[in-house]
Amino acid sequence: PDDTMKLLEICFKAHFKKIDGNIYTFDGTPIGKSMTGPIADIFMIWFEEEFIFNPVNEFLPYLKSWKRYRDDIYIVWSGGAEALDCFFWQLNYKHPRIEFTLLKEKKMESCRF
C-alpha cells in the first residue's frame, strides 16, 4: 500500500501544462489520464457512503433514487423544493474539492407526442 500511495502521489504531482512558455502545475486528477476515471469513482464512492447514504443524513428519506456515472448524477426527490435546496446546499459544503450544480426538471402535468 505504501508503494501504491507513493506512485499515485508522483502521478498527481507530475501534472503540468506549458502555456505561452510558462509551466503551470495543477492539483487533483489530471484530465485525460487513464487513472483519472477510476480514482474519481473511488473518491465518489467514499463521498456517497460518508455523506449521502449515511443513516444520519436527515435528507435520506427524501432521496428515492440516486444514480451516478462519474460526475453525472440523476436523483428522484420527494421532499419538496425547499428541502432539495437545503440538501444541495449542504452537499456543496461537505468537501472543498467537490462542487455540485443543480438542474431541476419542470413537473409535467400532461404530455403530448
Task: Tell me how many degrees the CA angle 95-103-58 measures, rounded to the nearest 5.
Answer: 50
Half-sphere exposure of 81 (CA within 13 A, CB side): 5
Q: Check whether 14 has a pLDDT greater than 70.
A: no
Which three three-digit cell numbers place residue 14? Answer: 507530475
* Range from 1-10, 43-52, 68-77 carrying the lowest mean pLDDT: 1-10
Range 72-93 average pLDDT: 91
In angstroms, the CA 89 to CA 93 distance is 7
CB 74 within 8 A of CB 65: yes
> pTM for this one?
0.72
